[in-house]
Chain A
Amino acid sequence: GAVVSQHPSRVICKSGTSVKIECRSLDFQATTMFWYRQFPKQSLMLMATSNEGSKATYEQGVEKDKFLINHASLTLSTLTVTSAHPEDSSFYICSARGEEQKLFFGSGTQLSVL
């Protein structure tokens, strides 16, 4: 089946630094990728839709200048958390749309901001 690779799986950073998370579709091309955020014991909340070659579409309440998304190729989307603060600590998950419109998810990135 389709594989989505997400890296890193875990990152710890100091407050004020920026963190980049990569999401790659390994065996298929994805014109559309999605970024989700998940707090402990809660559901996945969509942050933004990443479209190859164009600007991302952000959900209401998500700061586009804080969560920078780049989808420069059909197999790679990146999410950069800029000037991270402790409240940004969360589990970030990407997904890519493959055949038959099915979504395939990465393994997630646990971000801890000290």
Chain B
Amino acid sequence: GESVGLHLPTLSVQEGDNSIINCAYSNSASDYFIWYKQESGKGPQFIIDIRSNMDKRQGQRVTVLLNKTVKHLSLQIAATQPGDSAVYFCAETEGAQKLVFGQGTRLTINP
């Protein structure tokens, strides 16, 4: 079936550095993508989204890039802080139907 996957299951970065979390998706018909942050024992928290008619979107300290040619999605976090430590999931949907989640990347921040 369709799936959304991540290249790296874990990522360690130095505090203050930029983080880049990658995601590959397989459904070429997906038209809406979302990044979520999940802290231990909590539900996913919306970070940023992007529609398929865009290739870049910026938020506060975060940027999402979408490359539809290679079906790749990335989340960039600028000046990573200790509070950014969490598991990050990408998710995709087609036509506002059910959301399919990727496997997740654990981001750890080194002081």
Interface presence of B61 (CB below 8 A): no
Total number of A residues with any Cβ neighbor in B under 8 Å: 22
Interface residues of A (CB under 8 A from B): 4, 6, 34, 42-46, 49, 91, 93, 95, 97, 101-108, 110
Contact B99 A103, beta carbon cutoff 8 Å: yes
Given pairs A34-B99, A44-B101, 17 additional interface contacts (CB within 8 A): A4-B43, A42-B103, A43-B101, A45-B101, A46-B99, A49-B98, A95-B99, A97-B96, A101-B32, A101-B96, A103-B34, A103-B99, A104-B46, A106-B43, A107-B42, A107-B43, A108-B43
Chain B residues, CB < 8 A from A105: 36, 43-46
* B95: nearest chain-A partner, CB-CB: A101
Is there a chain A Cβ closer than 8 Å to B83's Cβ?
no
Contact (A102, B49) CB under 8 Å given A6-B43, A108-B43: yes
Query: Which one of B44, B98, B100 has the greatest number of beta carbons of chain A within 10 Å?
Result: B44
Assembled-state Cα–Cα distance A36/B34 (Å): 16
